[in-house]
Structure 1
Amino acid sequence: MPVTPATSAAMRTWSIRRERPRLRFRGLALTLAALSPVACGIDTEPSGGGPDVVVDTIGDTIVVRTLSGSVWGAEATLVPEAAIGRLDGPEEYLFGKVTSIAVDDSGRVYVLDDQAQHVRVYDADGVYLETLGGRGEGPGEFTRAEAMAVLPDGRLVVRDPGNLRVQVFGPGPGQRNEWTYLSGNFYTTRALYTDVRGRTFLFARIRDSSGNLVMHLVVLGPDGTAVDTLPEPSSDFDPPSVRAERTDDEGNTSSVSSVVPFSPFFNWSVHPSGHFLTGLSGEYRIDLARGDGVLRIERQSTPIPVSDAERDHERESTVRMIRLSIPGWDWDGPSIPRHKPVFKSLLSGRDGRIWVWLSTEAYSVENDDYNPDNPFSAPVSWIEPTRYDIFEPDGTYLGAVTTPAGFSSYPSPIFEGDHVWAVTRDELGVQRVVRFRIVVGDPE
C-alpha cells in the first residue's frame, strides 16, 4: 500500500472545543483573558484560563500583544496519519528530489519532482492518479519548474522560469493553459504565492530607470493577465557583515563579504489575503498589511542562546569560505551574536493562519561524509529542531507546534486547519510526503 497508516490515536475524529472571549479593560488597553474559537478539529485539552493579551490601536495599526499563555494551553505535536513515497516499488511512488507540494480542497496531493520535472498527483488517501508535465519545452512541459500552488477554483499553477511561463492545469480533467511572463532569468526556491482572489505572485527582475535589475513581484489575475507590478518588500535595516578585500599587482581590487551569522534579517511572504506579511527577526513583531491598515502581532519570548561551539563552527565556516577568494583573511568584523534571531521565516496556511518558524537551540551530530580536503565540508553538522508558533488571522495566539525527526522545512509545508502536509527524509535519504494531524498535549 502506498499509504502508511499511523497509530489509531492519530485516526480519531476529534471533538471541537469552543470558548467565548471574556474581555476586560485596563486603562486604554483591552485585555482578553481567553480568545476563541479554538482550532476546529484539533484534539486539545487546554489548561489554565487562556492567553493574557493586550490589544492597542496606534493610528491605523492594531497591535495584538500576547503576554503569556495560549489558547491551547499546552504544546502541540504533529502525528503522522499517512505517507506517500517508498524506497523501492512502483515508480509512481518513488521520488528523486521533491521541491514543491500542494494540496487542493478535496485533499488531493500534488508533488513536484525536480529531477524528473513532472508533477505526480495522488488522491486524499495517497493513491496515485496521474502525472502532469515532463521535461521539455512543449505544451504542458517543464524546463525548470520550481514551485506550484492551487488556485481557489481548483486549478494547479506551476512556476517554470526556464520556459518563461506559468503552466496551468485544470480545473477539469485534461484542461491546460499557460501564462507567459518575463522572469529576468531569476530562479528561486521560494514558494509560489497565490491569494483568495485567484491572483498569482511571480518573482521577476525588472530594470529600473538607471538600468539596474531590481526584484519585483508581477501579479497575475485569475486569467493570467498581469494586473500589477510590486517592488519586493524591503527594510532599512542593514545586517552586520564582514568584508575582505585584496588588490592585485595591477591595482585591481576585489572583495568578498558575508553577513555575520545569527544576525537579524528582514523576512516577508504573501498572505492568502493578498497582503504582505513582514517582520524583522530581531524581535517578535510581525506585521500583516490589511486593506484598512496593519495588524501587528507581538509576543513575549525568551531569547534562544547560541552555544560557544556553534558560534565557533559558524565563524570557522565563514572564514574558510572567504579564504577561498582572499587567502590568509581572518575575522576582523563585528562579533557573532550570542542569541539567535527570534524567527527564521514567516509562513501562512491555506486558511489564513500565520505560522512563525522559530529559532531553536541546536545540537551537533558527526558528519559521516566529512572530507578534510573539501572546504565546504565540516566534521560536525548543527541541527535545529523545527518549531512553529501559530496565530489566527486576527492575531490570536493558538500555541506552539513541535515537529518529529525527519520533518523538513523545505519545500514549504502546507498548513490548513488541523493538518500539515510536509516532506520528510529518513536515515536512508528517502523522501516522503506525509500528512500530519496537530495534536495538543500528549499524543497518546
Structure 2
Amino acid sequence: MKEIRTIPLTEISATLVALATLAGCAGPASDSDWTTVRDTLPSGTVRVTNVPRTDVSPTWTLVEELRVGTVEGAGPDAFAYLRGLVVLEDGRFAVLDSQAQELRVFGPDGAHVATHGRKGQGPGEFVDANGLMLDHDGRLWVPDTRNGRMSIFDPEEGFVESFPFADASFNATWNGAMVEGNRIYRPSRVSGNRRLLRVYDLNMRLTDSLPLPSDRPEGEEFDPESQPGAFY
C-alpha cells in the first residue's frame, strides 16, 4: 500500500531590526482531522491519500532575541539605507549602508565590530555600492557598479582585493547571488525585454550567458549568434 501525505510548510524570516525565532507553535490539525481517500489504481495498487483541513493555519508567537539600532542613534548602529545583510557562520552579521557607503560588521550580540569602506574611488572605497554577498571563506563581496568593480573584504581586517566589473544597472539593489562558492549569477536585461542570466567566476570574468526561459516566445529556439549583448 502506498501512502501519500501532504505536509504544509511555513517560512520563517528574519529582519535586521528584530532578529527573532518563532516559538510556541500551535501546529496544524492532527491526523484525525484529515480526510482520507482510498482508490485502486489500474495495476491493483491501493492508493491512500491523506488531505489536511484547509481552514486550519499554524499559530505562531514572535519572540524578539536581538534588536540592533535605535531611532535617535548616532553611532554605527544608526542605519540609513540598507542594501545588504549577510550572517556569518559564527553568528556575526554584516550590513551595507548605501547612504553612508559603509560596510559594517556586528557581533552575535549586536555589538559593533568593524566598519569598512567610505565614499571615494580608492582601494576599499565606494561610489555606489549596492549589495552584499558572502563566500565560502567568510569574505564579504560588495558590488560597486559606478566604480566599475567588485570589492572583497575580510570581516575583521577590511579590504582584501577587487576585480573589474562593468554593469549598467545603477541605483538598483544588487540581485546577484554567490552560488556553490565558485560562481556568481547575475540576472540582467538586454535590448528590448530580453533578460539573461550572466555567470561570472570569482575573478568577475563572464563565463556564460543564458537566456531566461520565460523571456523566449514559445517554440523559439535559442540562437547564441543572434542574442544582442549575450556572451555564449
* TM-score bin, normalised by smaller chain: 0.5 to 0.7
Cross-structure match for 1:7: none
| Counterpart secondary structure, 1:159 | strand
Cross-structure match for 2:179: 195
Cross-structure match for 2:45: none
Matches for 1:313-392 after TM superposition, within 5 Å: none
Matches for 1:193-342 after TM superposition, within 5 Å: 193-206=177-190, 214-232=194-212, 234-235=214-215
Cross-structure match for 2:137: 153
1:318-376 superposed Cα distances (whole Å, 9 cap, x missing partner): xxxxxxxxxxxxxxxxxxxxxxxxxxxxxxxxxxxxxxxxxxxxxxxxxxxxxxxxxxx
Letter in 1 for 2:211: P
Distance 1:198 1:175 in 2: 20
Aligned-pair CA distance for 1:216: 2.5
Counterpart contact for 1:182–1:204, Cα < 8 Å: no
Letter in 2 for 1:150: L
Q: 1:68 to 1:221 in 2, by over 3 A?
A: farther
For structure 1, which runs of at least 5 residues remain unmatched after alignment? 1-23, 54-65, 238-444
Counterpart contact for 1:35–1:51, Cα < 8 Å: no
Q: Runs of at least 4 residues of structure 1 off by over 4 A?
A: 33-36, 50-53, 203-207
1:203-257 superposed Cα distances (whole Å, 9 cap, x missing partner): 44556xxxx69543322234444332223452579xxxxxxxxxxxxxxxxxxxx
Distance 2:193 2:22 in 1: 46
Counterpart contact for 1:184–1:206, Cα < 8 Å: no
Q: 1:204 to 1:186 in 2, by over 3 A?
A: farther
The alignment's C-alpha RMSD in Å is: 3.7
Counterpart contact for 1:31–1:52, Cα < 8 Å: no
Match of residue 103, structure 1, among 82, 87, 98: 87
1:356-400 superposed Cα distances (whole Å, 9 cap, x missing partner): xxxxxxxxxxxxxxxxxxxxxxxxxxxxxxxxxxxxxxxxxxxxx
Distance 1:145 1:81 in 2: 30
| Counterpart secondary structure, 1:140 | coil
Match of residue 180, structure 1, among 150, 157, 164: 164
Letter in 1 for 2:77: Y
| Counterpart secondary structure, 1:145 | coil
Distance 1:191 1:45 in 2: 36
Q: 1:135 to 1:52 in 2, by over 3 A?
A: farther
Q: 1:206 to 1:177 in 2, by over 3 A?
A: farther
Larger relative contact order (CA 8 Å, sep ≥ 6) = 1
Letter in 1 for 2:96: L
Letter in 1 for 2:154: G
Cross-structure match for 1:137: 121
Letter in 2 for 1:218: R
Percent identical pairs in the alignment equals 27
Counterpart contact for 1:201–1:219, Cα < 8 Å: yes
Using the size of structure 1 for normalisation, the TM-score is 0.37
Cross-structure match for 1:31: 4
Aligned residues: 191
Counterpart contact for 2:116–2:159, Cα < 8 Å: no
| Counterpart secondary structure, 1:93 | coil
Letter in 1 for 2:143: R
Is 1:128 the counterpart of 2:112? The answer is: yes
Counterpart contact for 1:113–1:119, Cα < 8 Å: yes
Distance 2:212 2:81 in 1: 28
Matches for 1:10-49 after TM superposition, within 5 Å: 25=2, 31-32=4-5, 43=23, 44-46=25-27, 47-49=29-31
Q: 1:79 to 1:42 in 2, by over 3 A?
A: closer
1:289-330 superposed Cα distances (whole Å, 9 cap, x missing partner): xxxxxxxxxxxxxxxxxxxxxxxxxxxxxxxxxxxxxxxxxx
Letter in 1 for 2:161: N
Distance 1:88 1:138 in 2: 31
Cross-structure match for 2:75: 91
Aligned-pair CA distance for 1:78: 3.5
Cross-structure match for 1:403: none
Letter in 2 for 1:48: S
Q: 1:98 to 1:35 in 2, by over 3 A?
A: closer
Letter in 1 for 2:5: L
